[in-house]
């Protein structure tokens, strides 16, 4: 592994340790605040389709946000992890239509409905992304699987230009992260305390 890869591993380890120490009520409260801030974003005001994700474990919670978007009449696309770690997509039809999927290293909740294909994300006007940190330039660090790197590259190749919004905890907006050429900057990071925007 090269020097940047090693540094990324170290940063991920430290950030995940902080998340693991969070209390249940802290995570629940953060999810409510995150939903409120995301729903106030002008980028979502007229969005007909939003790509998002189902949070797991100590990730910043998305359950209130998904429910609120669906109540607004927004078409919400959720990722379905493929065996090669790429992302297919399916429409969110409610929490009761999510199924648990065991991918070995991680257990996810995915939509039970029709698969729409890897290109479906290009239909979204906004993409709500998981992440472990974002720096002052908008550089996002994920878990290292590369799934969202592929989806973001697909968006760029298609000419689609949705708002890219990462959900984080406040301490995960940092000064500078190790960066690789494939890292795609986000437009904003939303934390329970508010929204951070980044120059593109």
151-161: pLDDT as tens digits? 999 999 999 89
Query: Where are the extended beta strands (E) located within 31-175?
Result: 49-51, 75-81, 87-91, 98-102, 107-111, 126-129, 133-135, 140-141, 163-167, 173-174
pLDDT computed for residue 1 by the predictor:
58
pLDDT in tens, 7-52: 888 888 999 999 999 999 999 999 999 999 999 999 999 899 999 9
- In sequence order, the 6+-apart residues with CB closer than 8 A to the CB of 127 are 50, 51, 52, 121, 151, 152, 155, 162, 163, 164, 165
What CA–CA distance (Å, rounded) separates 104 from 131?
20
pLDDT band at 183; cut points 50, 70, 90:
confident
pLDDT in tens, 187-197: 999 999 999 99
On the question of pLDDT at 167 being above 90, the answer is yes
How do beta strands 126-129 and 163-167 pair?
parallel
Which residue range forms the structural domain that includes residue 69? 3-197
Instruction: Supply φ then ψ for residue 172, to 5 degrees.
Output: -90, 0
How do beta strands 194-197 and 163-167 pair?
unpaired
pLDDT computed for residue 104 by the predictor:
66
Q: How many domains does the chain have?
A: 1
Domain of 189, CATH number, reads 3.40.50.10420
For CA atoms 144, 15, 69, 139, the dihedral sign is: negative
Average of per-residue pLDDT across 90-108: 85
On the question of pLDDT at 74 being above 70, the answer is yes
pLDDT computed for residue 198 by the predictor:
92
What CA–CA distance (Å, rounded) separates 91 from 102?
20
pTM: 0.92
On the question of pLDDT at 200 being above 80, the answer is no
CA–chain centroid gap for 26, Å, is 19
């Amino acid at each position: 592994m090269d020097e940047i890869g090693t540094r990324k591993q170290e940063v991920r380890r430290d950030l995940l340790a902080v998340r693991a120490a969070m209390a249940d009520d802290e995570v629940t409260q953060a999810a409510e605040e995150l939903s409120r801030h995301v729903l106030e974003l002008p980028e979502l005001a007229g969005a007909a389709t939003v790509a998002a994700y189902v949070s797991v474990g100590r990730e910043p919670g998305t359950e209130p946000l998904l429910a609120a978007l669906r109540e607004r009449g927004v078409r919400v696309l959720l990722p379905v992890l493929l065996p090669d770690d790429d992302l297919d997509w399916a429409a969110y039809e409610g929490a009761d239509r999510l199924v648990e999927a065991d991918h070995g290293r991680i257990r996810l909740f995915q939509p039970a409905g029709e698969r729409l294909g890897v290109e479906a994300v290009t239909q979204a006007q906004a993409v709500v992304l998981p992440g472990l940190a974002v720096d002052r330039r908008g550089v996002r660090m994920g878990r290292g699987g590369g799934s969202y790197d592929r989806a973001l590259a697909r968006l760029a190749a298609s000419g689609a230009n949705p708002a890219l919004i990462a959900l984080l905890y406040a301490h995960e907006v940092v000064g500078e992260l190790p960066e690789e050429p494939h890292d795609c900057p986000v437009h904003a990071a939303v934390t329970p305390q508010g929204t951070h925007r980044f120059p593109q």
